[in-house]
Chain A
Amino acid sequence: MAENKPKKEAVPRAKMPEQDPDVRRRNFIEVPLGLTPEMAMAEAQRCLQCKKPACVDGCPVSVDIPEFIKLIAENNFTGAANKLWERNALPAVCGRVCPQEEQCEGRCIVGKKGQPVAIGYLERFAADYERKNGVGGVPAVEAKTGKKVAVIGSGPSGLTVAGDLLLKGHEVTIFEAFHKPGGVLVYGIPEFRLPKEIVASEVATLEKMGAKIECNTVVGASVTIDELFEEGYDAAYIGVGAGLPRFMNLPGENLIGIYSANEYLTRTNLMKGYLFPQYDTPIARGKNVVVLGAGNVAMDSARTAMRLGAESVKVVYRRSRDEMPAREEELHHAEEEKIEFVLLTNPTQFFGDENGRLTGMECLKMELGEPDSSGRRRPVPLEGSEYRIDCDMVVVSVGSNANPLLTNSTQNLNLNRWGNIIADPATGKTSKRGVWAGGDIVTGAATVILAMGAGRAAANSMHDYLTLGW
């Protein structure tokens, strides 16, 4: 590994230009503005071009990182985008939402002594550049195999499976329950973090490669997996997400003004409630908003509430700042936007008026005790510490369970005791012949890139099946 030793830290890591926090907290325009070509080329030159690149090992879909960065450094942005596409169907998405600090950048040798190469910024740059200025080239597809694959769910894992299998010459139809493809990328992640135009463009690339997309189709209700096989499909991939919001089962939880994060974000993002009344779906504009939970979805909800005009937004979390599961970048963006973190605090009940509308909530203060099974210190309530927070909106963002709609209608599909599909971690194979699964319906709520990694593994296994047999 001698050649991997850092030699220089002459050029500092590129700083992503961002909208000013005081401006952006009231609009839905994307927060980071993207690197300029000059900034990207300078950043690309910071890469050591390691012969044994640790960054690639850190990438769930094994993007050839040194090679695409080299192409950026050489001012060949289209070449860089094509290099990304070889391993990643959604580079503009991943450049934005991957937790690079835990993956590629977390392994970067340059980062051992200084700041790692901004791989995420560069990925985003190349994909954006190609989308805006490129020739609209489409990755080359291999000769048709004559095999038909059903991909159920058009979120990140389903799109990855579709992209990989299209490249290998299989016929792919993607089934989506909603009226627009993209899954969580469209209904969940807000416009200011992932513009929907980008998702549409990545999906359009798959369509140009030959993917068929059937929206408004709830597999399990509109059609079952066995019926898809009868219709002539040779294999199926289930990537339907977690999809059943968890509530806290506290008194008053059905008061008007209490949303699941799924509902709050779906109304805002997919249904474009923030553009009401140009769009017909309303979304309540809370004045004093409380978000329960501290993951990325909670940060998305809190920052959305701020943009919808809230006077105050509080994130109420029962543990401390160190245990908040959201990415540091998301926490930082939220704090910059004047979102308040109310830590070591747990709700106990909600209060409403005579019309059933939320007026406030009762909380208990907590302290950290001994570590629990997750290794994090367990929050313990402080006796008699009850106090009231006035609020007219609460967004419950404490995770999701497995939605049983598809799994209940599918025979011979083994589930674990939480209702998640049991799939081989290495291949995504389920107990049902010809059926693979990946993403949140297997793992429980996780990240976009992990779902994509599962999609990649499943696509390889599905290709083997389609060409060699089960």
Chain B
Amino acid sequence: MATIVYREEMAQGTIILNEIEAPRISRKAKPGQFVILQADETGERIPLTMADTNPEKGTITIIYMVVGKSTARFKELQVGDTYYALIGPLGAPTHVEKVGKVVCVGGGTGIAVLHPITRALKEAGNEVTTILGSRSYDLLIMEEKMRAASDHFHICTDDGSKGHHGFVTDVLKQVLAQDDIALVVAIGPIPMMKFCSLITKDKGVKTLVSLNPIMVDGTGMCGCCRVTVGGETKFACVDGPEFDAHKVDFDELAKRLASYLEDEKKSMDAHKNCKVQ
């Protein structure tokens, strides 16, 4: 259990894919659900939404960006290594049904989260337009898998190295202007989700986002992951992680994600020093 069977470095080594042995979770998991991973006994519990599952093989796939000590520690784990703890599937699954034309917008590692949802929406009979964005084309992940799960496919890069030179919101506006869209799913960095949400709110198009607040237990027990949705406090781990984008207080979420910035730096510095020695 929890042994890495396949590993891939993406986006110039800044994003890592792990396929992990997890028979029970792979059979249960539905699109939109997450797992919690811990590299070792002293490690943090890190929630990651699954990018894929393979029930026949008994594996799940997670994709994470290396941003701090815990993900740096994850990056050290190679094929054959085992996570100290792997818990899941957690959170409410995405509500998937045929609604007509849908748009899936993804950025950064949010694309990994978006992947099983996009595939499920297409399998449910929706006409799927996918818009992926990254700073530069060499940082874009999962292009082929996402293309395969989509009817229409767009890439946006901040530097113009591929596709539309600009933000995903530009293309989203065009698509919304041309077509009668029933649902938008936007998953990525908070500013991306926030601005997608502002655009769709104007048009009155239902929009889902998947939130990634700091968590500890992931089962509703601690309340660390509380987010304000429609003026009410919700726990992302059990009430989410997906919510109606038009009701989410993104600014509060962004602030709460910065709760431990100083500690995270301290932890990362200690980790680097330890490696140097």
| Contact of B221 with A by CB under 8 A | yes
CB pair A276–B267 under 8 Å, yes or no, is yes
CB pair B87–A216 under 8 Å, yes or no, is yes
Indicate whether A282 sits within 8 Å of B90 (C-beta atoms), given known contacts A216-B85, A254-B256: no
| Contact of B264 with A by CB under 8 A | yes
Indicate whether A403 sits within 8 Å of B221 (C-beta atoms), given known contacts A218-B87, A221-B88, A267-B216: yes
Q: Which residue of B lies closest to A242 (CB)?
A: B221
Q: Which of B251-267 touch A at CB < 8 Å? A: 252, 255-256, 258-260, 263-264, 266-267
- How many positions in chain B have a CB within 8 Å of any CB in the partner chain? 43
| Contact of B148 with A by CB under 8 A | no
Indicate whether A254 sits within 8 Å of B233 (C-beta atoms), given known contacts A271-B44, A279-B42: yes
Residues of A within 8 A of B258 (CB): 256, 355
| Contact of B158 with A by CB under 8 A | no
A247 to B219, CA, bound (A): 16
Indicate whether A221 sits within 8 Å of B221 (C-beta atoms), given known contacts A247-B233, A254-B226, A282-B264: no
A131 to B163, CA, bound (A): 68
Of A253, A272, A281, most buried by chain B (CB within 10 Å of CB) is A281
CB pair A356–B238 under 8 Å, yes or no, is no
A247 to B256, CA, bound (A): 17
| Contact of A210 with B by CB under 8 A | no
CB pair B44–A281 under 8 Å, yes or no, is yes
Query: Nearest Cβ in chain B — how far from A105, in angstroms?
Result: 33
| Contact of A243 with B by CB under 8 A | yes
CB pair A179–B38 under 8 Å, yes or no, is yes
CB pair B69–A280 under 8 Å, yes or no, is yes
- The proximity string for A residues 235-247 relative to B, scoring 1 for CB distances below 8 Å and 0 otherwise, is 0000000011101
Secondary structure dominating the interface of B: mixed
A262 to B225, CA, bound (A): 13
Query: Nearest Cβ in chain B — how far from A189, in angstroms?
Result: 15
Query: Nearest Cβ in chain A — how far from B93, in angstroms?
Result: 11
| Contact of B196 with A by CB under 8 A | no
CB pair A263–B224 under 8 Å, yes or no, is yes
Q: Which of B217-276 touch A at CB < 8 Å? A: 217, 219-224, 226-228, 233, 238, 252, 255-256, 258-260, 263-264, 266-267, 270
Query: Nearest Cβ in chain B — how far from A354, in angstroms?
Result: 9
| Contact of A54 with B by CB under 8 A | no
Indicate whether A356 sits within 8 Å of B256 (C-beta atoms), given known contacts A216-B85, A282-B267: yes
Residues of B within 8 A of A271 (CB): 44-45, 216
Residues of B within 8 A of A262 (CB): 221-223
Q: Which of A222-248 touch B at CB < 8 Å? A: 222-223, 243-245, 247
Residues of B within 8 A of A218 (CB): 87-88, 90, 219
| Contact of B173 with A by CB under 8 A | no
CB pair A177–B42 under 8 Å, yes or no, is no
Indicate whether A245 sits within 8 Å of B222 (C-beta atoms), given known contacts A254-B233, A266-B216, A281-B44: yes
CB pair B70–A263 under 8 Å, yes or no, is no
- The proximity string for B residues 88-118 relative to A, scoring 1 for CB distances below 8 Å and 0 otherwise, is 1110000000000000000000000000000
Q: Which residue of B lies closest to A223 (CB)?
A: B24
CB pair B88–A215 under 8 Å, yes or no, is no
| Contact of A278 with B by CB under 8 A | yes
CB pair A221–B219 under 8 Å, yes or no, is yes
CB pair B270–A247 under 8 Å, yes or no, is no
Residues of A within 8 A of B233 (CB): 247, 249, 253-254
Indicate whether A243 sits within 8 Å of B220 (C-beta atoms), given known contacts A177-B87, A280-B267: yes
A272 to B69, CA, bound (A): 16
Query: Nearest Cβ in chain B — how far from A424, in angstroms?
Result: 27
A276 to B70, CA, bound (A): 13
| Contact of A288 with B by CB under 8 A | no
Query: Nearest Cβ in chain B — how far from A288, in angstroms?
Result: 18
Residues of A within 8 A of B266 (CB): 277
Indicate whether A263 sits within 8 Å of B222 (C-beta atoms), given known contacts A256-B259, A276-B267: yes
Residues of A within 8 A of B219 (CB): 177, 218, 221, 243, 403, 405
A249 to B228, CA, bound (A): 11
Residues of A within 8 A of B228 (CB): 254
| Contact of B51 with A by CB under 8 A | no
Q: Which of A388-415 touch B at CB < 8 Å? A: 403-405
CB pair B24–A222 under 8 Å, yes or no, is yes
CB pair B252–A356 under 8 Å, yes or no, is yes
Residues of B within 8 A of A276 (CB): 263, 267
CB pair A263–B220 under 8 Å, yes or no, is no
- The proximity string for A residues 113-155 relative to B, scoring 1 for CB distances below 8 Å and 0 otherwise, is 0000000000000000000000000000000000000000000
15 chain-A/chain-B pairs, Cβ below 8 angstroms: A177-B217, A178-B217, A216-B85, A216-B86, A218-B219, A221-B88, A222-B24, A222-B88, A247-B226, A254-B226, A254-B233, A276-B263, A279-B42, A280-B70, A281-B44
Q: Chain B interface (Cβ within 8 Å of chain A)?
A: 24-25, 28, 38, 41-45, 69-70, 73, 84-90, 216-217, 219-224, 226-228, 233, 238, 252, 255-256, 258-260, 263-264, 266-267, 270
Q: A222-B89, A281-B216 are in contact. List 6 more A-B contacts (CB 8 A).
A: A216-B87, A218-B88, A221-B28, A222-B25, A266-B221, A278-B42
